[in-house]
Amino acid sequence: MNRKSINLKWPLRSDNESYFSKNKTTLSAIREVIKVLLLTKKGERVINPDIGTNIPILTGQLFENIDKVGMRMQLEAEISNAFKSFLDGIELVGLEVETQDENPELRLNDLLVKLSYKINNIENFNDRVQFKISG
C-alpha cells in the first residue's frame, strides 16, 4: 500500500519506497517543518533570506565553552521569533536546553533543545520536538 506523503524528511536520505524518505502523517510533517525552520540559517534560502534563525551561527563556536544562560536566552529569542514570524497558528509553549552538565551523553559544546508547542485551532493538542545542535 503506497501512502501519500506530506513533505520530505531532512536531511535527505533514501528509503525502500522512493528516492527520499517522506513524512506521511500531519504530526510528523509539522515536527519536520519546525526543525527545518529552526535549523535553517538566515540568508540560506536565496529567494527568501529572512526564513530561518541564527541558531546555526550561535552554536558554531567550537573552541569556546558555551555560556548556558546566555545561550538559552538567545535560543529562546530566536525560536520565539521564528514561531511568531513563520508558524502561524502554532504557539511555542515551553523550551528546555540541556548541556553536558544535565545530560552526560552530550559532548562538550552540544545542546539538546526540547520544545513544546500547541496548534491553536486544535483543542487539547500539545506536542514536543527535540533536536541536538553540535557546536
Q: What is the pLDDT of residues 51-60, one digit of tens each?
A: 999 887 776 6
Give the helix ranges, DSSP H, for 40-86.
55-58, 68-86
Alpha-carbon distance 75 to 72, whole Å? 5
Q: Which residues of 59-96 are buried (b: 16+ CB within 10 A; e: fewer)?
A: beeeeeebeeeebbebbeebbeebbeebbeebebeeee
Domain ranges across the chain:
7-134
Give the pLDDT band of residue 3 (cuts 50, 70, 90). low
Instruction: Tell me the whole-structure pTM to 2 decimals.
Output: 0.78
Is domain 7-134 classified as CATH 1.10.10.10? no
Cell numbers for 44? 540560506
Q: What is the pLDDT of residues 37-49, one digit of tens each?
A: 998 999 998 898 9
58 against 83, higher pLDDT: 83
